[in-house]
Structure 1
Amino acid sequence: MADGETPIFPALGAMAPDFDMPASRGRQVSLASMRGRPFILYFYPKANTPGCTTEACGFQEALAALGGTGIPVIGVSRDPMKAIESFADKQGLDFPLASDVTGAVTESYGVWGEKRLYGRTYMGIERATFLIDAEGRLVRAWRNVKVPGHVAEVMQAARAAA
């Protein structure tokens, strides 16, 4: 990497990029508020789409198992709060879904970028998940996530980190 060039995404073992965002059900989520406990931060492209619904419902179902480890889950998209609230209500999601409408958080985690679908190029969120420890350091990262089996893999890593 050249001098002055920033990494595409935070390195494992580094401090997680800071965040403070509004979240579903009138909550606010921030890195500072999560200090003292490990947590899962996952990024999804768009509320109420098939892959994002499957992933969110997978995390919701896993909450009972994760609850035993004390590891909370936070989902993040660039959707406005109205769309996020609708998604959370429709799917019965208890964990916070945060709104990064400015894109600052998705960019700081290196998950905003060029995507391709059916020959079309556009900017969007890469589906990614980060396991962050109690000190706020990145312990594990899953990039370009494929939904099937992903939640189970994250849960296994979260249990090991607890």
Structure 2
Amino acid sequence: MTDQARLSPGDTAPDFTLTDDAGAEVSLAGLRGGKVIVYFYPAAMTPGCTKQACDFTETLASFEAEGYTVLGISPDKPEKLARFREKETLGITLLSDPDKAVMGAYGAFGEKKMYGKVVQGVIRSTFVVGEDGTLTLAQYNVKATGHVAKLRRDLGLE
């Protein structure tokens, strides 16, 4: 169904610098030495994406206690991400990838099935980047609901 490259554990995480909802630049290289959860979602303020962002926010303190930074990336503009943060009282870092270049580098944009049709779009995906910049986890086509709990189990945090 999809022909873009998929990343796997052990691969070097593609570096990026993106703008957050407050207009500041955030780079993956700047977080080297720490563990980073990078998740891609289709659109701010939609039901599934809101559920996922709220789940990450609710468990953020426990992720941070284990040394993780959480970055949510969507194609939304920073202004929309700021409204999303304010409306849902989100604590995670929200980054804007309007040209979808970072999504493409991670294999998180391309063909997917939606309501039985093949469309081009954001593939809901989650990656865990180790302190050395390599991927320790790469998950594609994750579900919005229940994903954060599953991720915590996969990381041995529960």
TM-score (ref. length: structure 2): 0.90
Kindly state the Cα deviation for residue 120 of structure 1 after the two structures are TM-superposed: 4.3
Query: Is the Cα contact below 8 Å between 1:10 and 1:17 reproduced in 2?
Result: no
CA–CA distance in structure 2, aligned partners of residues 79 and 96 of structure 1 = 13
**1:122 counterpart residue number:** 119
Instruction: Specify the code of the residue in structure 2 equivalent to 1:64.
Output: A
Kindly state the Cα deviation for residue 89 of structure 1 after the two structures are TM-superposed: 1.1
Instruction: Specify the code of the residue in structure 1 equivalent to 2:122.
Output: I
> Alpha carbons of 1:152 and 1:108: their partners in 2 closer, same or farther (altered >3 Å)?
same
CA-atom RMSD in angstroms: 1.7
Gaps of 5+ in 2: none
Number of corresponding residues: 155
What percentage of residue pairs aligned between the two structures are identical? 41
The aligned runs of 1:84-95 (5 Å cut-off) are 84-95=81-92
CA–CA distance in structure 1, aligned partners of residues 156 and 77 of structure 2 = 32
Q: For each residue in 1:92-125, what CA deviation from the matched residue of structure 2 results, as whole angstroms up to 9, or x when unmatched? A: 1122110001111000000101233335443110
TM-score (ref. length: structure 1): 0.88
Equivalent of 2:131 in 121, 129, 134: 134
The aligned runs of 1:1-162 (5 Å cut-off) are 8-159=5-156
**Greater Rg, structure 1 or structure 2?**
1
CA–CA distance in structure 2, aligned partners of residues 118 and 151 of structure 1 = 24
Kindly state the Cα deviation for residue 68 of structure 1 after the two structures are TM-superposed: 1.3
Structure (1 or 2) with the greater helix fraction = 1
Kindly state the Cα deviation for residue 155 of structure 1 after the two structures are TM-superposed: 2.0
**1:3 counterpart residue number:** none
